Structure 1
């Protein structure tokens, strides 16, 4: 069985191709413009299959511009034609929507007819329902609904072409707002709720998470993750006797806009909104007088939209998006849910994957680093050696350095993961180098330093991020002295060996900066971290001493007393799953700040408070820490049993002393 997919390099399309490769047999022909072959070649490598066959064409050309000889050779041999290529963007202009959505569909239908395909699968959108007031089921299409934007109009017109002009059997799929993969968070662009993420980030960075904010009931929206969309499409496309039907790929229980916003605010660690006046109060009013109706009506007025655009674009929200924050129709998905019954394909609850989506955006789509002139000026063209760059803080730091025009030099033990990070950077237009090295092997570090000095034009910054953390009480460590040796070997000896090996080059350059990712534990001395905190304290002390020796050579140091970060390093301690932590992207922002501003230390308020208490009232500090020692048990890995049942006390103390390692 063969397939043809348009839009295979786009977001939904590439996930659909992956699904077809995973679940079906036969060749998968993908339409690609001649200028997009490099992008497709990169995707083919990621798909890891020789069943993907490029077909050169263009959505804007009759018959999609596919060569007549190819059409003749494959006529009658393609069972499923998935037409995914289109504009999925509320901000696109009328001409673009017309060319891509309407004319593109017409050309795709012509090609489908010439190929005599078994079924034409058209990816439409719930936007085809426009502003129909009421329940819009899967048998409905042309109900006289208002189509308020070029996007709505062209989605309706393109679906109309399929329904009334297709010479081959067809099926239509209407997804709601499609967000990233619920399992990985992967997303290609900022769209839908992602437009509001920069504002949520600003709220998180400026306001305490516990601060209640007053919101208004803005009606309902509807989002679905891309993995659900492509799984459902694949299943529905292969069901027998369903030609001529339409399927709603939606959440059957619409999400209130405020609930959706709060789910992402919670994921970000930002304050959440309460709605003292909600639809229980306003439901008796005409829709135009309800908050959602008023906002949509006002935002659609030309002069108002222009004024709003000037204001809202400062935080990345186009006025066109504000005008369509909520859906007027309620989408009935009864037919789809029945067809999916027994398939194992189910829509995940947003709260279960909101943090996954947020994390991907924060690490891959947030452009705040590139938008900061001071950061770009400080890092552009600079070679930044980052240890532990294959995951967590190191990987996100590398992405941010590249975003600012810097050149990350990626160092870690695993070459494959480093290559994955380099591929991410290069796909975004950046440059990176990969140097695998076991940083617990001092001779390997010496060889690395020689290689860096020989192959790089400069080493401008060194970020000592690689580290090992061990959470185990002294009571359980008497027969595990190797824990202390291993931790010191990587966190202290490995870090200083790297700096010492690169110092001759930095001295010769007359400049260099070292960023040590230390720990809040050095200031707060939490129990059970004697091996880890001692290694970080040693690195701090060494740096403080040699900083005075090297400042005259232009070499400077910044130590970051990092709070608890949600990284793979803390994953074995399941107790941390419910703790308040900062994200790797937040930690990477601190590393970037250290590179740009170059202060001697970067501390948190709580870390400074802990250091002061240890200085002025050490006995009180030890009493408090002893209380924590008894409240927080050793990890299951350390003592070979479950973590205990004092969760409420643990969470309370963790929230009061946010960011401390327990």
Structure 2
């Protein structure tokens, strides 16, 4: 079996290639432009494990027969069993010319090549957009129903599918995905599209409004979204079924999704306020609007208004400030209901099904907030402070360190990534570079003081300047003193990384900072230093030691232009807290929210960044220490050692309710 794939470096293409690698045999030929060869080679190495089955083929979507070398065609004629054509533009905001060139012209070129190769089956990735503004049920057997095609994207998707249906020189199959979102398990997404346009608005709502505040919305009809992993798995399965040539397959959610409910699902994932719809279709459907001509119905009138220049101008000055293009609002919901009975029957028994959005919406949101949110690029102060600066970040392979690296790179800084796992660092570096940034990766065990010395010597030689250091790498141990009496190594290893490792790194880089007469150190400390929660004696002591050291040396180094910020971070949803399962139910901030505090520290350089709860805890210990310790003793009783630390059964449900209540009252504290 042999394959040819266009658009393999695209979003759906990357996952389809992985499915072919996992489930099929034979070579997979991947079309790429000469200028994109390095990107494809990186994907082959980093995402596809360097498989020798993947063979790059240089070509161009804009050229006849995709610009593939005639000698290559001659050599492979009659050997390609499946020709997957995914290369196209999937963007409602793209120009008419670009849509025509890539979607229509690209399809003609791909068919010409498939015919010359005498390929077995031509697989065209179309879109539900081919249905245009068709009102009503649209099944897989339908295509040209006289529907209006309201945009260049709709038109070219329709026309490219028509070319395949009428002109393909080889057997064909068509796949029509709905709106494709990120991976349902990892959240991975490569661009802002579909519902992602609204994520910055959800973020602003979360940061400025209480989550319990109900907002008034309007019924926007239905939409349809599916995760990319479903689309790729379904395509791989359907492509290899016998006897299905000449068919179209709807890769959609079998149940139409209410647009407002979808919006509220993502708003809930963002912990933002949600929308209530006092007047929905259950009310409006009782009105005799069906008697009106279609163009005079409320939905059609609203769409016509949205397409006018004054409306575009108004939307640009309002929702456009959140990155929501007016073109997207015109197509926020579908007048079409996509039937997929034939596709579902073909998938029966494969185990491939569309997951419920509720099960993976939070995963999509987290990936966007951590990796795709580019609001920092519009922050003039952050860009001015960080552009061109080198920032050493420890623990940069995950959690706060990873997101901080991505964010400062977007502001124009050059993150120097430090962690034990070099492979993960290289993945972070590749991600930053794929977004247009620049980064460097250095593997180092920060609990090994000699390794730190070697690292600082190397960094001092490799870089003309070291502008900032973010001491983020850390180890947390949650265990009562009673269970630690025979585990003194818990204290030693926590101090080794959190305190000795951090100050050894700073001391190794201080000569460089003195030489350049500037430098800023950001220490990721803990709210526990201010609140003294029980069971964290090893962890809090190590962070308190780092705080104390920084406070003392700050007065010594201020004359050298070197300053410090300690961030007393509240509970953050990172891999470090994952072993403590009760935290799954506790209020936490996201790694992106934590990274925003780090960016503030790098830009404004305050001596401390605290939370209200942390400040109140410190005040309580100052004004009423005995009362504070009694409250903490109550927490000590309510929050027992973990089942892993005790070696016995999980916490009873009744005690879990007490824990959640106290955790919400004292939000952000490590219990």
Compute the TM-score of the two structures, normalised by the length of structure 1.
0.97
Once the two structures are superposed, what CA deviation does each residue of 1:312-333 show, in whole Å capped at 9, x if it has no partner?
2211000000111101111111
In structure 1, C-alpha distance between the alignment counterparts of 2:661 and 2:279, rounded to whole Å = 31
Q: Distance in 2 between matches of 1:438 and 1:481?
A: 21
State whether residues 217 and 292 of structure 1, in contact with CA within 8 Å, keep that contact through their aligned partners in structure 2: no
Alignment partner of 1:57 out of 56, 59, 80: 59
2:505 to 491, 498, 507: 498
Q: Which residue of 1 aligns with 2:101?
A: 99
TM-superposed CA distance for 1:410, in Å, is 1.5
Equivalent residue, structure 2, for 1:14: 14
For residue 335 of structure 1, give the secondary structure of its aligned residue in structure 2.
Answer: helix
Report the counterpart of residue 312 of structure 1 in structure 2: 319
Aligned-pair CA distance for 1:418: 1.8
- TM-superposed CA distance for 1:293, in Å, is 5.3
The change in CA–CA distance for 1:40 and 1:140 in structure 2 (over 3 A counts) is same
Aligned to 1:403: 410
Q: For the residues of structure 1 that align with 2:181 and 2:120, how far apart are their CA atoms?
A: 30
Q: In terms of mean alpha carbon deviation, does 594-603 or 638-647 score higher?
A: 638-647
Unaligned runs of 5+ in 2: none
Contact 1:292 1:326 in 2 (8 A): no
SS, match of residue 263 in structure 1? helix
Tell me the equivalent position of 1:643. 651
Match of 2:209 among 185, 207, 210: 207
Equivalents in 2 of 1:380, 1:55: separation in Å? 38
SS at the partner of 2:173? Answer: strand
Q: Label 1:611 to 1:586 Cα distance change in 2 as closer, same or farther (>3 A).
A: same
Whether 1:77 and 2:79 are equivalent positions in the alignment is: yes
Alpha-carbon distance in structure 2 between the residues aligned to 1:254 and 1:362:
27
Q: CA deviation at 1:408?
A: 1.3
1:589 aligns with 2:596: yes
Match of 1:219 in 2: 221
Q: Are 2:650 and 1:653 equivalent residues in the alignment?
A: no
What residue number does 1:363 align with?
Answer: 370
Runs of 5+ unmatched residues, structure 1: none
* Residue 153 (structure 1) aligns with: 155
Q: Which residue in 1 is equivalent to 2:260?
A: 258
- What is the CA distance between 1:451 and its match in structure 2? 2.2
SS, match of residue 376 in structure 2: coil
- Structure 2 match to 1:567: 574
User: Mapping of 1:429-448 within 5 angstroms?
Assistant: 429-448=436-455
**1:219, 1:292 within 8 Å by CA — same for their partners in 2?**
no
Distance in 1 separating the partners of 2:222 and 2:428? 38
Where does residue 241 of structure 1 map in the other structure? Answer: 243
Q: Which shifted more, 621-630 or 18-27? A: 621-630
> What is the alpha-carbon distance in structure 1 between the residues aligned to residue 587 and residue 352 of structure 2?
33
After TM superposition, give the deviation of residue 229 of structure 1 in Å: 0.2
**Could you tell me how far apart the structure 1 residues matched to 2:5 and 2:347 are?**
22
Say which of 411, 427, 432 aligns to 1:420.
Answer: 427
Q: CA deviation at 1:291?
A: 7.4
**1:579 aligned onto 2:586:** yes
Measure the CA separation in 2 of the matches of 1:640 and 1:220.
50
SS in 1 for 2:84: strand
Moved more, 497-506 or 552-561: 497-506
Please state how far the C-alpha of 1:193 moved relative to its aligned partner. Answer: 0.6
Q: CA separation in 2, counterparts of 1:422 and 1:108?
A: 34
Structure 1 pair 489–453 and aligned structure 2 pair: CA distance change class (3 A): same
Q: CA RMSD in A?
A: 1.7
State the shift of 1:425 in Å.
2.2
Instruction: Indicate conservation of the 8 Å contact 1:221/1:256, yes or no.
Output: yes
Q: Over residues 372-401 of structure 1, what are the superposed CA-to-partner deviations in whole Å (9 max), with x where a residue is unaligned?
A: 221122112222111111111111111122
Larger mean Cα displacement after TM superposition, 649-658 or 180-189:
649-658
**1:614 is matched with which residue: 621, 626, 634?**
621
1:553-583 Cα deviation digits (max 9, x unpaired): 1111101011111111000011111222111
Change over 3 Å in CA distance of 1:578–1:283 after alignment to 2: farther
* Post-superposition offset of 1:463: 0.8
Q: Using the alignment, how far apart are the partners of 1:9 and 1:116 within structure 2? A: 24
Report Cα offsets for 1:394-425 as digits up to 9, x if no partner: 11111122222212122122222222222222
Q: CA deviation at 1:28?
A: 0.9
- Kindly indicate whether residue 510 of structure 2 is the aligned counterpart of residue 510 of structure 1: no
